Every structure is written in C-alpha cells, then in structure tokens.
A and B are shown apart, each in its own frame.
Chain A
Amino acid sequence: MKLTKKLSKVFSKNKAPKKELTVEQKISRRNFIAFGSFLALGSAAYGGWRWLYTSPEEKGGVTAGAHGPLRAVLNTNEKVVRQLYSNNNLVKTYPKEMAAKVVRHNSDIGSEGLIDVDAWKLSVRKNSGEVLNIGIDEIRKLPKTEIIYDFKCVEGWDQISHWGGVKFSDFIAHFKLDAETQFEYVGMETPDKEYYVGVDMPSAMHPQTLLAYEVNEKPLPPKHGAPLRLIIPVKYGIKNLKRIGSINFSNTRPPDYWAEQGYDYYAGL
C-alpha cells in the first residue's frame, strides 16, 4: 500500500493536478486507440495473408505442388480426422434401382486402351520379398461383396453406383497377408505404373473397401478399370485406382499420383 502511494506521488509530482477529461477529449482519445489498433492489426493481417499466399511450394517428395504451410495444415488436419475415423462408420448404401446405368468415367491415366484380361496378373509384394501372382479367376472365386453407394469425386460430383468384388479384408485373409496389415500403408499401381495411390491401412481394411471386378453386375469394362480396380468408399475417387497391377505394403507413404499435384494425401471422407 505504502509503496504504491509513494510511487504514485513520484509519478504525479511534475504533473498538474489531474483534470477530468472533457467528452471531446474522451472521444478523440478512444477513437485514436480504436482506429490505431484497427489499422495496425489490419495491416498485420494483410501482411500475414501475403506471406501465406506467396509462400514457396513444398519441397517435392511423396507430396508436392502445395504451398509449404498449407501442406503442413493438410497433414495436421489428417491427424485430427484420423482421430474421428472408425471402421464402424459406414458409407450410406442405396437400393439397386438407384444405381446409375451410365457410370461416370473421368480419367484413364494408367488404364488407357484395352487389356488382355487372361494374361493379367495381380502381383502382391509380401514383406518377405515373395511376390504372389494372382489371376482374375482366382479372385472371382473368393466371397463376393456388392455395394451400391454414392461415389464422390474430389471435383465435387457424386454418383450412386453399383460395384461387386471381394472385400479387401477378405482378400488379405484368403492370401494370408495378415502380417502385411501391420504396415501403415498399402500402395497400389497400374501395370504401366502411370497411376499409383497410397492408402492408410485402416481405410484399406474398412469393411466396405473392395477389390472390384464388376460394375452393375457385369465384368468391368476397360474404362472402369478391367479386370480389377479399387473401390474405397471412405476416400475420394482419386484413390479408387483402376486396373490394379501391383499391391505393396510399407510404413512410409507410398507414392500417390494426386498428392504430387497439390492434393491432400489422405483424401479421406
């Protein structure tokens, strides 16, 4: 108490006795402070925006093409979203009549032209180095699962479509690849390696993820990824690789075509 009194005495020594401010003085003082901080913080915000907008592109690696800071945010968002992820969260399914008769086809990178289905083999690279070469007939013999759901493209369109194939988890169990599911990622490539995706293991093992060989109850036509494609409803279309050539497993992110073009690696729904 005493100290503060003394201090205030010291400070008020040289000042004239304190006068109540007039209304005009109060107005101009408050305006000065308010507009001053408004301008200062407004300029700072603008500076911050320019910094972000002109921030350099990330160093190219598994992901590329995004502003560095924004890539960091996409990766952070992935961590947050993965906390919410559960294999109990299922995509909505629809009755068969609602499935589109003409299934939209956006891109054929890596799956151009025709393919000799009989000569085709799916190669699965096991951790041991062993490579399984599996023909389409062998896959067709596995328990079949069908799904009619709203396929969602990163561009913003969606379409209810009907797919049939083997659950990825059933495929894993049948070919005794359980040890491989301990890895964090599944990588898939087209036979010509032009298109490739990386999928986190939980999403790959989701009960609605299929290795599909049918659309609308007919074998996949070449443009929809004959003879075998990925249908993964918990991801945007960009991860639904057509014409799978090989599958591998790893603890680091496998190469991903669109993640190299500035898109989010996770691309989960």
Chain B
Amino acid sequence: MKVIKEKHPLLMRWTHWVNFPILTIMIWSGLLIYWANDTYTFTLFGVTFIRFFPQEFYDALHIPKRLAEGMAFHFLFMWFFALNGFLYVSYTIISGQWRELVPNKHSFKEAWLVILHDLHIRKMAPPQNKYNAAQRIAYTAIIVMGFGSLITGLAIYKPVQFNYLAWLCGGYHLARIWHFVLTIGYVLFFLVHVVQVVLAGWNNFRSVISGFEVIDEKPQPAIQIQNDETNEKAE
C-alpha cells in the first residue's frame, strides 16, 4: 500500500530552490569581478595544473571587461544570498530539523560506509533517517561554506570597517583567495549533488518540490501467525 511520508518542510524546499539562482548569479558576477585580476592557479611541485581561467572559458561566457557590472550585480544579490541563508539556518535551528542535518558521532564512520555503498563496493548501506551520514556531512559543510563566503566576502567588501573579519581570514589578500576557493567548492559540490540526485531517482527529487516521499508499506496484520517452524522445515 502506498503511504505518504513527509520529508522536507516547505521553508527548507523554498530556501533550497531560491538559493540555486542566487548562487548562480553570485558565481557569474563573481567571475566578472575575478577576471579583472585573474591570478590564481592550481600549482603543485612547480607544475601548474589549472589556470583560473583559460581565455576560451572567459570568451564562451562573455566574462571580459565587465568588472563594474559584476560588482553592481554582486552587491545586490549578496543581500538575497545572506537573507536566504539566514532564513534556512534559523528555521533549521528553531524547528529542530538540525537534528536530522548535523553530523553526529557515528556520521563520520558511517559516511565511509555510504561512500563504499555508493561506489558499489559494499552491498549494505547503514540505516538512515532523513539524510544518510554522507549527506549530513556534505549538507552541513555547504552551510558552513556559505557562512564562510559571507565572512570572507564582507572582509573583502569593507576590509577597513570590518578589519576584524579581514584579520580572521588571515588578511585581505588571503580573504580573496578563500572567497575564490569556496566558490570552486560550490561548483564541485554541485556536480556531485546533481549526479547523486539523478541516481537517487524521482521519488527523492520530488520530495524537494512536493515535500513528501511515497513509500510502499506492506500492511501489518494485527495478529502475527507464528509459523516459523513450518517455514524452516520447508526450506
């Protein structure tokens, strides 16, 4: 029998979806800004693996020479980003939903088992409630990262008025690097997130829009007939 099982409260669904276009615009306008001083590379042992970013990438997205425009967009949507994050976090705390979200003492061990399971190395996944252990870690991390973007962003935005924030980030120069690294983190998170959502299927995806999952529950008879012995014999 089909049963409706509530999963994501309305506010969590909306803040999730509202965040998507906001973050997209923040990353895009951030690129317009970053272009004006695009000095970052990923270099290990003197070998540069990635240069942020190749000219073709900029050209394809029409990034060059739009610094002023990028700043103007960035400094509007920063408000929405902060407000949306504030709504999500306050709701999660007040409603008690944080219990389903924040990793607990088992999460780090279990997350490893979840990863092994997802990679088809291990057959069984650990039992879970709303989120599995890997999700708890990933989704909590992304909230912490969002907070990090806010702090590093403010440190770059007004490094003299918020000089304590700039200090906290290791100075203005480092704050800009952290701000950039966090953004790369969002993009990587997004890639894994989308693959996982596709693999998890429709029921899971729908729950982030409609709020519920449909579970097929076998009706439990009121009286359980004890016929274990006969079963055993039949085997």
A81 CA to B162 CA, complexed, in Å: 11
Count, A-B residue pairs, CB within 8 A: 105
Tell me the minimal C-beta distance from B162 to chain A in angstroms.
8
Asked whether B181 is an interface residue with its Cβ less than 8 Å from the other chain, the reply is no
Interface residues of A in 110-167 (CB under 8 A from B): 150, 152-158
Asked whether A182 is an interface residue with its Cβ less than 8 Å from the other chain, the reply is no
A73 near B37 with CB under 8 A, answer no
A150 near B173 with CB under 8 A, answer yes
B-side interface mostly: helix
A262 CA to B33 CA, complexed, in Å: 13
Residues of A within 8 A of B55 (CB): none
Pick the contact of A70: B72, B161, B167 (CB < 8 A).
Answer: B72
Residues of B within 8 A of A24 (CB): 2
Residues of B within 8 A of A156 (CB): 33-34, 36-37, 176
The count of residues in chain B whose C-beta lies closer than 8 Å to any C-beta of chain A is 38
Asked whether B159 is an interface residue with its Cβ less than 8 Å from the other chain, the reply is yes
A-B contact pairs, 30 of them (CB 8 A): A23-B4, A27-B2, A27-B212, A30-B4, A30-B210, A31-B210, A42-B17, A65-B68, A67-B69, A73-B72, A74-B72, A77-B75, A81-B158, A81-B161, A84-B161, A89-B160, A89-B161, A153-B37, A154-B67, A155-B67, A156-B34, A156-B176, A158-B172, A158-B176, A262-B68, A262-B72, A263-B68, A268-B161, A269-B158, A269-B160
Binding site for A on B (CB under 8 A): 1-4, 17, 21, 25, 33-34, 36-37, 39, 67-69, 71-73, 75-76, 158-163, 166-167, 171-173, 176, 206, 209-212, 214
Binding site for B on A (CB under 8 A): 23-24, 26-27, 30-31, 34-35, 38, 42, 45, 49, 65-67, 70-71, 73-74, 77, 81, 84-86, 89-92, 150, 152-158, 233-234, 258, 261-264, 268-269
